[in-house]
Chains A and B, each alone.
Chain A
Amino acid sequence: MLQLILYNVTNGLIIGAFYVLLALGLSLILNLSNVINFAHGNFLALGGYFAYLLTPHLGYWGALLIAPAMTAALGFVIERLMIRRVYSRDPVYSLLLTFGLAFILQDACRFIWGPNGLPLGIPDVLSQPVSADLFFITYYRIFMGAIVVVAVIGLFAFLRYSRVGVRIRAGTLDLDTVAALGVNVRLLRAINFAVGCLLAGLAGVLAAGQIGLNPNMGDDLLMPSFIAIIVGGVGSLTGTLIGGLLIGVASALTTVVYPAGSEAVIYVIMALVLLIKPRGLMGEEGMLT
């Protein structure tokens, strides 16, 4: 029984970690540029596929480092080419744009790498279980969790201490003032978008090691990421973090008691939050609400 609970809780925490990673990237892009990046799940998939391309040449560790960077670079290019054209317009256009982009990216993955699943090799040392009893806790899972923690801390540190990070934070509060202070807002938005895609790409590499690659691997994570943002409160990254963990853990615990309801509980939490605290747990007053 204990094993079952532990199994499900670790699963839940891992899933929660992915929700967090993806949701943070989404949230970053949403907060600064008021754009819902429907293609975010596809950037996740691309991260995994890039790792697949790089592993034969750079090994797993090299791929882990470079693939997210490649995803970020792609995001940067796409932002500059397409997304920035619609900032000044009604938000419906940016939604439609990223929506269409999602279709195109998914099809591109299918076209290049085929519709079937592909494996991503992870180093042997990581696929060992931690102990014979707890066979389901491999070092890889611990590793994934550790990477996510590092990434999240890194993100918050970046936003707090680096020049670009501070500007991004200021920009989410008042973009006009930031622009008036001479900051290149266009570049800032592009960088912000790239950072969001970096996180997605990283999530993709990690996920690929666990579940393998396929063109729609990001789809199942996209909606929970949305909900993590809604639950945590639009406009607040800390909120997104809390939201993601909350729904991940809730989902895990529900699996122990009532497996069929593990997905439903996420929606229930969202509905409750909307009823009680419509702005989300840590939601801020502002243009988005």
Chain B
Amino acid sequence: MSSATSIPVIAKRPVEHHYLPLMAVWLVLLTLPLWLPMLGGYTALGARVLVLGLVAMSLNLLLGFTGVMSFGHAAYFGLGAYGAGLTLKFVAASTPLALLAGTLLGGVAGTLFGLLIVRRRGVYFAMVTIAFGQICYYIAYRWNDLTGGFDGLRGFSRAPIDLGFATIDIQHNDTLFYFFLLFMFAVAIGLMGLILRSPFGRTLIAIRENQRRARFLGIPVERHIWLSFSLSCCFAALAGSLYALLNNFADPLSLHYTLSGEIVIMTVLGGMRCFWGPLLGAAVFVVVQDYASSMTENWMSIVGLVFVLSVLFFPRGLLGVLQRRDAK
């Protein structure tokens, strides 16, 4: 039965209407060093939003698109930070190497841990992810000699990138570092977008929509959840590595479940099922947290309030309210 003679095949969904918001987002991100200081911010704040946005988007791969709840994602983020920091401090002053090492450390840890827990579900899964995060926190906290303990890992800084024909001084030039960060961000989410649009990505969405049905359509659910988990951890670890480069510092709090919770709220606040949602959520959260902590001692209550109000009144998130369906 050939389709050539019957209804014309609509191979792709019309995507023209998606280009405009996409371009707007990139425009905003590219010109950030110009407009943010005018609003009273500073470039490093924008960089922080990018990094946290990246880790939130990596969580979204798991939470929003596969339907699996990890509440311990800071572990891989933190491992990425420590991996990058330790590499810069003890191995070589090479930014690419640091990024690679950090991503591998967090990514491999996540992949191995994922094998252990992939058959668990729901809140139990969330609990063990929290516990694993705390194990990492504990190790970082205790292994004073290596990690600097509670004070954190210091004594390293990002190294200029030597391309052979030119050197990009991201060490001293903050604006240049921001663009480097933006470049890495773009590469990462480009990959993420590719994954989500692929047949594999579609199986993840199927698993989110109806796990039982997915299984009965021949999808090996546990294996795909594990793959999604591994990929998510790799991206989170990359974000962590970039974070260490941003701050020239890595500390145990980047592994603590408090940060894990914050990553989740960024994802949910921005819009769980939207690709760009977590970035928006990260922006809002970082700004609110920054502002609140400078205004009042009770900033913790304000942050807590953000959690509570989001859950009660904005469950679909800011972008979720704007868009009926997820942007793919």
Contacts and interface: CB of A to CB of B under 8 A. Distances in A.
Q: Do chains A and B touch in the complex (CB under 8 A)?
A: yes
Contacts of A82: 308, 312
Given A36-B123, A104-B300, A288-B122, 11 more contacts: A35-B123, A89-B315, A95-B126, A95-B261, A102-B304, A103-B307, A104-B301, A234-B124, A234-B127, A264-B138, A267-B134
Interface string A77-101: 0000010011001111101110111
Interface stretch (A161-169, A205-213, A225-233, A236-244): A225-233
B147 to A, nearest CB: 15
A264 B138 CA distance: 8
Interface residues of B, number: 38
Contacts of B131: 223, 226-227, 230, 267, 270
B65 to A, nearest CB: 13
Given A36-B123, A96-B261, A96-B264, A107 B307 contact: no
Q: Which 8 A-B pairs give the minimum distances between C-beta atoms?
A: A100-B307, A103-B304, A104-B304, A107-B300, A107-B301, A100-B308, A100-B304, A99-B261
B124 A288 contact: yes
A91 to B, nearest CB: 5
Given A82-B308, A82-B312, A223-B134, A274 B123 contact: no
Interface in A239-272: 260, 263-264, 267, 270-271
Interface in A187-214: none
A286 to B, nearest CB: 10
Given A85-B312, A104-B301, A230-B131, A96 B123 contact: no
Contacts of B261: 38, 95-96, 99
A69 B304 CA distance: 25
Interface stretch (B35-43, B86-94, B112-120): B112-120
Interface of A is mostly: helix
Interface in B311-328: 311-312, 315
7 contacts: A86-B311, A93-B315, A96-B307, A99-B307, A103-B301, A267-B135, A274-B117
Contact of A96 (B116, B138, B265, B305): B265
Contacts, number: 124
Given A96-B310, A274-B128, A103 B120 contact: no
A260 B142 contact: yes
Nearest to B120: A289
A108 B301 contact: yes
Contacts of A106: 300
Contacts of B55: none
Contacts of B305: 100, 104
A153 B168 CA distance: 68
A275 interface: yes
Contacts of A103: 300-301, 303-304, 307
Contacts of B127: 36, 226, 229-230, 234
B253 interface: no
Q: Chain A CB within 10 Å — which of B116, B131, B268, B303 has the most? A: B131
A95 B71 contact: yes
A42 to B, nearest CB: 10
Interface of B: 63, 69, 71, 116-117, 119-124, 126-128, 130-131, 134-135, 138, 142, 257, 261, 264-265, 268, 298, 300-301, 303-308, 310-312, 315
B298 A107 contact: yes
Contact of A100 (B130, B257, B298, B306): B306
Nearest to B63: A92
A217 interface: no
Q: Chain B CB within 10 Å — which of A82, A96, A110, A289 has the most? A: A96
Given A34-B123, A230-B131, A234-B127, A92 B298 contact: no
B123 A104 contact: no
Contacts of B300: 103-104, 106-107, 110
Contacts of B135: 267, 271
Interface in A41-85: 82, 85
Contacts of A105: 304
Q: Chain B CB within 10 Å — which of A92, A100, A287 has the most? A: A92
Contacts of A278: 116, 119-120
A123 to B, nearest CB: 35
A105 to B, nearest CB: 8
Given A36-B123, A104-B305, A96 B142 contact: no
Interface string A29-42: 01000111010000
Given A92-B268, A96-B268, A263 B138 contact: yes
A17 B126 CA distance: 25
Nearest to A33: B123
A240 B85 CA distance: 39
A101 B308 contact: yes
Given A30-B123, A107-B300, A289-B124, A95 B308 contact: no
